[in-house]
Structures are given as C-alpha cells and as structure tokens.
Structure 1
Amino acid sequence: MPNEAKPETGAGRKAPWREIPSGVWALGFVSLLMDISSEMIHALLPVYLVTVLGTSALTVGIIEGIAEATASITKVFSGALSDWLGKRKLLAALGYGLAAFTKPVFPLAPSVGWLIGARFVDRVGKGIRGAPRDALIADISPANLRGASFGLRQSLDTVGAFIGPFLAIALMWLTADHFTAVFWVAVIPAFLSLALILFAVREPERPEGLRRVRVPLHPSELARLGATYWWVVAIATVFTLARFSEAFLILRAQSSGVPMALVPIVLVIMNVVYALSAYPAGALSDRMDRIAILAIGLGLLVAADLVLAFAPGLGGIALGVMLWGAHMGFTQGLLSTLIADSAPPELRGTAFGMFNLVTGLALLAASVIAGILWDKVGPQGTFLAGAAFAVLTLAGLLPIRGRLRTQKSP
C-alpha cells in the first residue's frame, strides 16, 4: 500500500515510530487538533452545567452517556458505509467537518437544551468519523506496526486532550471565569483539524482482489467477523461498564475542594499520563502478548478506582487520576488494535462500528449508573462500582487468553 514503511532488520532497524506511515501521523495530528477544541469545552462543561445552570450530577451523567452513545450508534452506519464504498477518507472528513461547524453553538447556547443539542450533534460528527478513521489507520499500517500505529494516534489524540484543558485553565484565569470566551477560542483548532484531513491525508488504493461487501450489516457479513472478534467486543463491553465518563473525575476533584478555575487540571494530569503511555504500550504489544498488556491496564483501573474512593486529600485525587490515565494508555489503543487484528480487511469499518456501538451503549449505562450512585451514595460508591466491573472483566479475560492471542491479519 502507499506510504507503508518497510521495516529494517538487524542492527540498522529503525525505532518503530520512525517506520510508521506518514498517513498515520497526519491522522494523529487531525485528532490532536480536534481534541484540543473538544476538551477545551468538555473540561468546563460539567462544572458549567452544575454550578452555572444548576443541573444535577445525574443530569451530567445522562448528558454524557447519551452524547457518547449517539457517537457510537452513528459509527455503525459510517463504518458499514465505508466498507460498502471501499473508501474511508470521505466519511472521516465529513465527520470532522460536522464537529467543526457545531463548535460555535456552545458559546451561543442560551439554555441547557441548546447545550444538549450541541453536544449531541458534535458527537454525531465524532460517530461519522470514528470507524472510517480507525479502519483507514488499519488499512495504512503494516501488520507488524499495527499496535505502534494505533498507539501513536492515541498518544497524539491525547496530547490534544491535555492541551485543551490546559488552555481552558489559562483562559479561565485570563478572562475571570468567562466560560463563553473559552468556548469561542475552542472553535479555531476544530477548523484547523478539518483543513488537515482534507489536504494532508491520502487514502491508499484498494488492494486488488479484496472482496466487495454489498450489505455490510447483513447477518451473514456480521458472522464473517468471526468468534475471536466477538470475544474482543464482549470483553470491551464489560470493561466499558468500569470506565464511566471522565466527567466524574472532574466532579470528584471539585468535591475535594479544587477551585473552579483549576478543575480542568484533572484532565490535564490524566491525559499527560495517557499520552505518555499509549504509544509505548502499543509498540510493546507488537512484540509481546497483547492480552497480558490489556490485563495490566485493567489492574491499573482497579487501583485508580480504589485510590479515588479512599485516598484522602488532593494528593490522593492526583494519584488516582494518574492511575486512570495509565489504564487508558494501556487499554484504548490496544482494544482498537485487537479489532483490526481479528476483523477481515474488507469488513474493518463494520467491525469498528459494531465495536463502538456496543461499547457506547455500555458507556451510556455506566454513566447513568455512576450518576445515580454519586447522587445516592456519593463518590465512594461510584468508584467502588467501577472497580468491581474492572475485576469482573479481568476475571473473564484470563480463561480465554488463548483464544484472544494476537492474529496478525494482513
């Protein structure tokens, strides 16, 4: 395929990041810019809803869950459409464009209803772009660099995710907590992201002889995804119940006495650790058992939940958030890699779409459960429930480790 780097052998072998195709790098920076925009808004939105507009934590959980579930449902159809068309970039660009053009709604919204609508449409854009983009990364990347490629994209995406909250903190301080001004600045990187995918990403030619898919969502095509793929989806679904929206990390910090203007530091800390760990974890997964690395990530999540539930003071919050970021680095890119490994090349869009649908619905349930527990029991109940689901996932992972060993599909 075009742009694919040829691995070297022996003493002259390059570091994995130097072999990763340029198209993967470009898509990584597209994600970085859009995440700067999105996280500038999302880092402040829960606090804005609760403190300025007077909504409850349950309402925050429902909004976050519905938003992410909307994105996940949309990914099914965009992923399947990309398999039917045999093209990925067009749909990915459409999704980034929709997200960019909805960003100005956030500073203009006069009520909670408008904010919910803006969040909903923004997530539709995320849904349209997600599965085709991930399938495009799998199409571009050599099999021996697939973990590193997904890890790199995740790292760059997450760099944007901590630059965004950092900018939100600085702008909140400069504007004396003027939410609307921060929301307006967030519009700029969104449109830069759209320009980058339009002009810097080139889609590889479809391989000769690759089977054409007429109805990607037909039961017979879904059956072609195979048992290993569906095992990965099942594990990811239970795991998603353990990792509810990061909005609850923000609320946990606020409940511990962090000043409003500094609340976004939670996402900065989490995403710094996430960004630093995602690429090394992905590159390591190209050289060893990916399931073992996934198990390490689940262990980190259990530790994060216990610390956030019991550790006192701001130091405990910081440690818990760092562990949360590490678990994300060890799991999110890896799950995408496992999907790419296990799915047939002609059905990768559908595979990522179905994966995101099922885990998105699980995230909706997780966020609603977390909101109910927060309102009824308090932060401790929310994080202990997350730890319980993580332990359940880990227990279910170990007996089927052999079945989920890496499949180096072409």
Structure 2
Amino acid sequence: MKILNYISKTVWVLSLISLFTDTASEMLYPIMPIYLKSIGFSIVLIGVLEGFAEALAGLSKGYFGKLSDNSGKRVPFVRLGYTLSAISKPMMAVFIFPMWIFFARSIDRFGKGIRTGARDAILSDEATPETKGKIFGFHRSMDTLGAVLGPVIALIYLYFYPQQYKTLFYIAFIPGLLAVFASFLLKDKTQKHLAKKKPTPFFSFLNYWKTSPAQYRKVVIGLLAFALFNSSDIFLLLKAKQAGLNDTNVIGIYIFYNLVYALCSFPIGILADKIGLKKMFLFGISLFAIVYFGMAFSKNSCTIALLFFIYGVYAAATEGISKAWISNISDKKDTATAIGTYSGFQSICALIASSLAGIIWYQFGANTTFMITGIMTILVIIYFSFFIKDKIIKNDTQT
C-alpha cells in the first residue's frame, strides 16, 4: 500500500516494541487489583500505590524528555525505559512484601517516564508535519493492539489455571523481553544541534513553559483542562458493571473498546493529516462528551456496548493526534521536552481527575459524575473552537 510507504523501519520497530510492552502490561491489568488483594493489600493501599506510581511517571516524563533534548540522544532513553518496565513484571511475583511491591510498580512507571518523550520525539523525527497523523496513528494502533492481546491471553490462561496469578507475571516477562531485544534495532540519528553538557535539574523542564511558543501553551492549557475531567476508564467499567454486565462481560467490553481503538487509530491518523489535527481532535472529544452523557442515562448492555464502540473511536481520534499536534507546534530540538512536559502534566491531571470522579461518585452518584464530565468537555470544545488555530511551527521543524 502506498500509505505504508510513510512507515519507516524505525517506526515499525518502535511500534512493535510498544505492542510487546502493552501486551505484557495489559495482560496484568485485569488481575492486578485481585492479585494485590490476595497478598494483603487493602483498597486504600492499592489506591496509594497506583497514585504514587502514576505521579512518579508523570514527573519523570518531563525531566527525561528535557534530558533527551539536552543530550541529543533518544535511543538510550527508549531502551532503558522499556527494560525497566520489562523487569518489573516478574519482580512483583518474586516477593510479596508491600515495600517491594511499591518498588517494583514504581520501576515500571519510572520506565514509562524515561522513554515517553524520547520515543515520541523519534516518531516526530520520522514524519513531516503533513504525515504526523499517519505516523502517530500507526504507532497508536500497534500499541493498542497489545491492549487487546494482553487481556485475551490473561483470560485464556486463567480459564485453564484459575487464581494462579503469580505465573501470569512471569509469562508477561516474555513479551516485555521481546520489546527490549527489539529496542537494540534502533539507532540514533546524528543531531544537528550540539548536545548541552551542563547538568539538567529534575524540574528544569518546567522552564520550557516560559520559553515555549505561545501556540504550544494555548493548546496544552486546553488539553490539560480536558485531562482534569478525563478520569480513569475504570469508572466506565464500573458503570458497565452497574448496568448489569458480569465480570467476564466487563473484561470483554474492555477488550472490545481496545480493538476498536487499535483498528481506528491508523485510518483516523490518515484522515487527520487531510482535514487537520485540530479538527480531528475536536471530533474526538465531541465523541467523548456523547459517551459520558450517554453513560449517565444508559441502563442496558446494548447501549453500553455502543458507547464503548464510540469511546474506542474517541481514543483513536485524540491520543496519538494530541502528540502529533504538539510536535507540530514546538521546535524540533525541543520535541521530547514539549511532549514530555505535556505528558507529565497530563499524568498529574489524570490522577486529580480520577480522585475527583471518585469523590463525586461517592457523594452524588454515577450519573452526576458523568454529567459533570460531559458538561466540562463541552466547555473545552468551545475553547478549542474559538481560541486555538491549527498551525505549524516552521522554525527547525523538519530534518
């Protein structure tokens, strides 16, 4: 296919690495809370663990993105990040002491923080402003395919070996290891700008906010406002459970959502390059609003399934597209910093969003939670529609 000519060897390798890693991670996603409970973790402790791990990942994304830009290197950060995530899987099964579990889970998220900015900068370097949607969309398709394969493998394994959770952590190490091996196929390109030798303080990436293009700040403000009310998918799954779906169906609908997400990301990326990244992102968050308003009133499984289908299309139209958009409105030499800074703040906002959603759900019920999110999303749509232009930073954007 002519379209696939845009997909370079480097993009293929990065996409396969993400597929293997997501397969490993998502293999454990459905059973992680059950496993933690089985070794003595309370709901509160699970929440603290996940909150701490995500906060660590968020803060480190900005720092290591900045460090990657300063050093002029990408591949070492990608390789180290995926290696840490791979070795964290069996670590969680070796010992069951709470502090060890905290350490292993933190290693996993820390790995994500190390690799994110550098990896997305490589993807950006492999594209032109006119093909960013295709490249990021293709990578997102492959990555999300892992989110389909992982839970399917877990379901098949647990069908034959119920409650044998520990072994699953060792099995997850296999695709994680394949990701690490594949990372050795990557090579850094020679950077045009000189690497900076001075030390990079941990919070130095925050200075980028002051020096970044005005368009970058405007777009990221809107993206973070949306992230503040975009809570964990767990709340959607809880709503599905509340609507009458059993545990197997809930996992099944989660796999269905990821399948739609994976299948739609690449074609949506192609379309986004034609109509504009901003228009595609607005289309995506409009679907998000529909899903959340729908969830507030839906009570039957057929409607829930339809909404999860729409939710998969929403994810395909926003996740990769937002990073492609950011890479188009930031200077090439700062790509990892720009994406890492946004991703870091996004992680913190997601943590706040899930906390707020939990509080609102507890105090006022599920319907109020989804209605508030839908209303706030409409305000974000208005902001992007009237205050943000879809333009590209020309200075040093292309190789």
TM-score (normalised: structure 1): 0.88
What CA distance in whole angstroms lies between the structure 1 residues aligned with 2:95 and 2:292?
34
In the alignment, does 2:303 pair up with 1:316?
yes
CA drift at 1:248: 2.3
What one-letter code is carried by the residue in structure 1 that aligns with 2:330?
A
Residues 102 and 121, structure 1, Cα contact 8 Å, conserved in 2: yes
What CA distance in whole angstroms lies between the structure 1 residues aligned with 2:308 and 2:91?
30
What one-letter code is carried by the residue in structure 2 that aligns with 1:169?
L
What CA distance in whole angstroms lies between the structure 2 residues aligned with 1:221 and 1:238?
19
Of residues 103, 114, 125, the one that matches 1:128 is 114
What is the total number of aligned residue pairs between the two structures? 392
CA offset digits 1:260-283 (Å, max 9, x no partner)? 345322321111111122112211
Of residues 163, 181, 203, the one that matches 2:188 is 203
CA drift at 1:205: 2.0
In the alignment, does 2:69 pair up with 1:83?
yes
What stretches of structure 1 of length at least 5 have no aligned partner?
1-13
TM-score (normalised: structure 2): 0.90
What one-letter code is carried by the residue in structure 2 that aligns with 1:180?
K
Q: Secondary structure at the match of 2:274?
A: coil
CA drift at 1:180: 2.5
In the alignment, does 2:150 pair up with 1:164?
yes
CA offset digits 1:120-175 (Å, max 9, x no partner)? 22111100010110011112223322211011111100011111111122222121
CA drift at 1:406: 4.2
- Alignment match, 1:4: none
CA offset digits 1:184-223 (Å, max 9, x no partner)? 321211111111012x22222223xx36556673777544
Alpha carbons of structure 1 residues 395 and 143: separation in structure 2 relative to 1, 3 Å: closer
What percentage of aligned pairs have identical amino acids?
A: 29
- Alignment match, 2:358: 371
What CA distance in whole angstroms lies between the structure 2 residues aligned with 1:48 and 1:383?
29
Residues 63 and 205, structure 2, Cα contact 8 Å, conserved in 1: no
Of residues 174, 184, 187, the one that matches 1:188 is 174
Alpha carbons of structure 1 residues 276 and 300: separation in structure 2 relative to 1, 3 Å: same
What one-letter code is carried by the residue in structure 2 that aligns with 1:171?
Y
Stretch deviating more after TM superposition (90-99 or 58-67): 58-67
Stretch deviating more after TM superposition (165-174 or 89-98): 165-174
Residues 129 and 392, structure 2, Cα contact 8 Å, conserved in 1: no
- Alignment match, 2:376: 389
- Alignment match, 1:31: 18
What one-letter code is carried by the residue in structure 2 that aligns with 1:246?
D
CA offset digits 1:286-328 (Å, max 9, x no partner)? 1122211111101110111122222112223222222222111
CA drift at 1:108: 3.6
- Alignment match, 1:249: 236
What one-letter code is carried by the residue in structure 1 that aligns with 2:270?
A
Residues 296 and 368, structure 2, Cα contact 8 Å, conserved in 1: yes
Residues 205 and 337, structure 2, Cα contact 8 Å, conserved in 1: no
What CA distance in whole angstroms lies between the structure 2 residues aligned with 1:255 and 1:181?
31
In the alignment, does 2:260 pair up with 1:273?
yes
What one-letter code is carried by the residue in structure 2 that aligns with 1:206?
Q
What one-letter code is carried by the residue in structure 2 that aligns with 1:344?
D
What stretches of structure 2 of length at least 5 have no aligned partner?
none
Residues 40 and 167, structure 1, Cα contact 8 Å, conserved in 2: yes
- Alignment match, 1:345: 332
CA offset digits 1:318-357 (Å, max 9, x no partner)? 2222222211100011110111101111111111111112
- Alignment match, 1:229: 216
Residues 17 and 148, structure 1, Cα contact 8 Å, conserved in 2: no
What CA distance in whole angstroms lies between the structure 1 residues aligned with 2:362 and 2:316?
29
- Alignment match, 2:323: 336
Q: CA RMSD in A?
A: 2.4
What one-letter code is carried by the residue in structure 2 that aligns with 1:133?
R
What CA distance in whole angstroms lies between the structure 1 residues aligned with 2:295 and 2:207?
45
In the alignment, does 2:285 pair up with 1:298?
yes
Residues 254 and 263, structure 1, Cα contact 8 Å, conserved in 2: yes
Of residues 365, 369, 388, the one that matches 1:401 is 388
